[in-house]
Amino acid sequence: MAELRQIVLDTETTGLDWAHGHRVIEIGCVELINRRRTGNTYHVYLNPERDIDEGAVEVHGLTTERLANEPLFKAVANDLLHYLGDAELVIHNAPFDVGFLDNEFRIIGRDEHQLSKDNPVLDTLVLARQMNPGQRNSLDALCKRYGVDNSSRNLHGALLDAELLADVYLMMTGGQTRLSLGEQAGGGAAGRGSGPGLIDREGLNLVALDVPAEDVAAHEQQLDLLDEKCDEGAVWRRSG
């Protein structure tokens, strides 16, 4: 089976809209290979060459003075492109981060590098809204929903948020979480224990429901997707 390489990516910025001159000030990335965190991360702070909105500072705590001696984006562009390669990007609210990074490449005259065209992008916010319609789907809300420990997230940080999102994404799409290649699934912060097993149904008073055919078909499609993404296939098909 071909190796599946994904990069969970997050940014922090000087404000909310790159079209109004705001810039990227932090990039954090976490590598997944075949749904396992490899420990290969990318993290950089950047000098935005402009002031940072007060509201943004309240979110991430990064000030203009703190970033004054950090590199400019043009100094790290090649390293970032090399790290990302052709991996699928996993991003929460992808248009925000991709829009900012594409703009950074435009600013340095490298319009040919546009993440929106060069890399497939999976937006976990869109996925969460599909899976949890009508519910809050912020990263904090998803951490709570899927049991991912975000107690260290007093302020937003690109690498921390990418690490949290990696755990959330793996839980959302198959129940597997952190950390490294060769590490057993379920051993991380979001899923401690010996992993999935058979459920003892003896003595349970189970209710049988008539499920519409279209719902069954949709469920099977989701299991097919998990079979493709998970080395051992969908747990529901292994534990039935």
* Other beta carbons less than 10 A from residue 208's beta carbon: 5
Q: Is the pTM of this model over 0.75?
A: no
Local structure of 131: helix, strand or coil: helix
| pLDDT at residue 187 in the model | 37
User: Using one digit for the tens of pLDDT, what is the confidence trace for 122-144?
Assistant: 999 999 999 999 999 999 999 99
At residue 75's C-alpha, the angle toward residues 71 and 77, to 5°, is 120
| pLDDT at residue 222 in the model | 64
**DSSP label at residue 49:** S
Tell me which residues are annotated as active site.
Answer: 156
Cβ proximity of 25 and 52 under 8 Å: yes
Q: Measured in whole angstroms, how far is the alpha carbon of residue 225 from the centre of its chain? A: 18
| pLDDT at residue 79 in the model | 98
| pLDDT at residue 152 in the model | 86
Distance CA 137, CA 158 (A): 18
Sheet containing 88-91: which strands, arranged edge to edge?
A: 36-45, 24-33, 5-13, 88-91, 121-123
Q: Which residue stretches of the chain have pLDDT < 50?
A: 177-180, 182-201, 207, 229, 231, 239-240
Local structure of 27: helix, strand or coil: strand
At residue 163's C-alpha, the angle toward residues 101 and 69, to 5°, is 50
Residue with tokens 């975000």: 150
- Domains, the chain, in order of start with CATH, read 5-172 (3.30.420.10), 197-240 (no CATH)
| pLDDT at residue 221 in the model | 62
